[in-house]
Homo-oligomer: A and B are copies of this chain.
Amino acid sequence: MKTSAPPSSQVLGEGRYLRLLDDGGWEYCTRHSVSGVVVLVALTPARELVLVEQYRPAVRRRCVELPAGLVGDVAGRESESLAAAAHRELAEETGFEAREMVELGAGPIAVGVTDEIVTFFEARGLARVGTGGGDDSEDITVHVVPVATVRGFLAEKLASGLHVDPKIYAGLYLVGGT
């Protein structure tokens, strides 16, 4: 789903992961060496939503988010599918395995700043097989929250100074989880 930079664009800066481009006066940021981003709406059989909480340097706070991850960013797995990455990220971050991943939709989430296209999956048939927590570079807390009480849970997190990623609301809309 990722678009590569057009030949007309000028590189304004480059890091190990991100590149800043100017394409005819329009500036945006792109992530090299990935083929997509997956976001997981994972509901347990008891209709609990699986959320993750972690410190995010960009905003210098802990954030509550849907489980998510990059596709094709690991050496030797560059060609993995979106669905395969979805299964891998869900297990790594949350300890849940899904029987099935159903694509809900995809789109650019912050198109004024980045070319990133996120693909939402519904993770079905969940079973807990581990504790999650992320890979070696991550320190993730897992929350399993009844859908009926998600709004209150997130309000408490906001009240205690955390950020809440609005992609949670998008995911709940896509699965009809009001």
Please report A residues at the B interface, Cβ cutoff 8 Å. Answer: 3, 6, 11-20, 22-24, 26-31, 37, 56-60, 63, 65, 68, 105, 107-118, 120, 158, 163-174, 176, 178
Nearest Cβ on chain B to A80's Cβ, whole angstroms: 18
- Specify which chain B residues have a CB less than 8 angstroms from the CB of A30 in the assembled complex: 58
Query: Could you tell me if A26 and B58 are in contact, using CB atoms closer than 8 angstroms?
Result: yes
What are 22 A-B residue pairs whose CB atoms fall within 8 Å in the complex?
A3-B58, A12-B15, A18-B20, A18-B27, A19-B20, A23-B57, A24-B57, A26-B57, A28-B58, A31-B113, A56-B108, A56-B112, A58-B114, A59-B117, A63-B111, A107-B164, A109-B166, A113-B116, A114-B114, A168-B170, A172-B173, A173-B178
- Specify which chain B residues have a CB less than 8 angstroms from the CB of A165 in the assembled complex: 107-109, 111
Query: Could you tell me if B29 and A105 are in contact, using CB atoms closer than 8 angstroms?
Result: no
Nearest Cβ on chain B to A1's Cβ, whole angstroms: 9
